[in-house]
Structure 1
């Protein structure tokens, strides 16, 4: 790659807290340290696929003190519409990948920084490979399921929101002698659920990676009551299936089926088995928004600076990562292999079980609690 003069940056996939902090760091480092021009692509891949192109040049004076503190992404984002199989108005599908490549070239960009999750990294890396585009990835997702990094931007803020929800549900549960069930996001990974369950003092934490039994949940609640408590807290990840393995899903707009409803399923079953009053809270998109936590601001800032330095050094086709208490980078081919699951014999599961939290059935060869 020749000398860099024009750098593009876009956000892709679901929003989360800390995205604006990444864009801010990219702009500060690129403009102040290298004298580059930075162009923010509007609405992710769509900004380069549509005509006229949709983008804005990012200047230092755009980033007031508020930008670091704001959730979401001021550039906009998309989490549907695969450019390789794009849905058209007439119901057909069309490969529009070359529209993206042509847009990049029309804007005369030298490299592209992509802020996205595991799915975005895979699609954008394929698009960039197709067009010979130099790409650097920055991991962001509340699910924390991106390979190669200990943390992704947005995860810590989401866990904080869930933990605060447990703090608020606890006094109501105690006042009314209830079992409170909190359904949280995370897709097919239980990182949010188990982190928040430990931090928020839950009695049960159900994650997609581990099977569970309803009678085991009922026994855990009975144990809590025998110990002198009149209430219980349950955290369940949205990607958990029913006891017989049926996914809990609901239909959304554009014909999309998404996870949802596992909390209501558990509520009905637990109420019938224990004769206790149950209530369900589904946090949903509350976990995505709001002011980013201190850790997410730090992570976003460190990732943004390192991503620009990688472009300057010609280290393309890689993703910024956080490992062993520091910033590093990993090849995109090691990232684009699907979501990173919770380790079923990892530290957090051991901690949860050590605290007496029911987190599902022991796996073969694993001692029961």
Structure 2
């Protein structure tokens, strides 16, 4: 078979491990030809691709990012292309099937391709861990590790200067990274999009901590976290050309508010894209490799319109449409667990 593979959406530790696994499984075990489509769906639309050999994927297991590249496509352009030209796009590249590696937006587009005649298998990818169909996505463990290490390092400088440090972490609509990194790093406050916060309660928590003789405080906040109505003046940004909400910097805003109300020095730290760059952890390498292996097997089984997913310790397949029906948000019992150890 001639199998195409593309990576779409934000880069993520483990993408190259998936590509490597697809190439190894396809060529070595099935004698497939693997075609790497450049720059995600943009390359699919424009017909840009290259053949991938075993030599091309040497050394990729530990390498972050994606050798195939990724690019955003305006939603209208992508929708028009996949709904009217799916079979034509596949024919232009000479592929029998496509493996689409990406997050919720990528899998939604993959579902449209499948519905319009292009055989597709999905591989879930997002550091936010917000795809409901899988227990976890590769890249998440690496992001949590980076964020936890940052919190660990900030504790010493915060204590030395008796400061409040506000660490803003990625998480537009879900707070998984902030929740787990905050718990692992022992943050004293964890603010996530799923639970609007009260600035007075945050201030009270910090004041009580200092009253007990502590000399510093760490507050972990997801970029999509927001105050409860009427508790703090903060407005999220408008939607950009690609349908994504722009955030106006909750870390900076919260740090200013805390310094104003507490009268204590407060500093924001914005980790940003640091969380999704660099070498993937061992867990992410293994999961990405397993996903790539099973995606190729799904292609050869003719099990199209499906996404590979981790359930417990096993890799399963489920309909892409089911996997992206809703975001996987942090449930109440998880943030209550976190509150118990703050």
TM-score band w.r.t. shorter chain: over 0.9
Q: Normalising by the residue count of structure 1, what TM-score does the alignment of the two structures yield?
A: 0.87
Q: Give 1:178 deviation, angstroms.
A: 0.2
**CA shift in 2, pair 1:148/1:95, >3 Å:** closer
Q: Give 1:99 deviation, angstroms.
A: 4.4
Query: 2:54 is matched with which residue: 51, 60, 76?
Result: 60
CA contact (8 A) 1:142 1:158 kept: yes
Please identify, of 169-178 and 217-226, the stretch whose mean Cα deviation from structure 2 is larger.
217-226
Please identify, of 189-198 and 253-262, the stretch whose mean Cα deviation from structure 2 is larger.
253-262
Q: Does 1:73 align with 2:66?
A: yes
1:86 corresponds in structure 2 to: 77
Q: Give 1:265 deviation, angstroms.
A: 1.4
Query: 1:203 is matched with which residue: 167, 184, 188?
Result: 188
Query: 1:10 is matched with which residue: 6, 22, 27?
Result: 6
**Runs of 4 or more consecutive aligned structure 1 residues displaced over 4 Å after TM superposition:** 250-257
User: Matched residues in 2 for 1:328 and 1:255: separation?
Assistant: 31
Q: Give 1:227 deviation, angstroms.
A: 2.5
Residues 67-87 of structure 1, C-alpha deviation per residue, up to 9 Å, x if partnerless? 1111110001123422xx129
User: Matched residues in 2 for 1:247 and 1:159: separation?
Assistant: 27
Structure having the larger proportion of residues in helix: 2
User: Any unmatched runs of 5+ in structure 1?
Assistant: 88-93, 358-369
CA contact (8 A) 1:193 1:236 kept: yes
Q: Normalising by the residue count of structure 2, what TM-score does the alignment of the two structures yield?
A: 0.94
RMSD: 1.9
User: Matched residues in 1 for 2:147 and 2:238: separation?
Assistant: 22
**CA shift in 2, pair 1:254/1:22, >3 Å:** closer
Please identify, of 97-106 and 181-190, the stretch whose mean Cα deviation from structure 2 is larger.
97-106
Q: Give 1:111 deviation, angstroms.
A: 0.9
CA contact (8 A) 1:118 1:338 kept: no
Please identify, of 287-296 and 266-275, the stretch whose mean Cα deviation from structure 2 is larger.
266-275
Query: 1:24 is matched with which residue: 20, 23, 45?
Result: 20
Query: 2:217 is matched with which residue: 215, 218, 232?
Result: 232
Q: Give 1:325 deviation, angstroms.
A: 1.7
Number of equivalenced pairs: 338
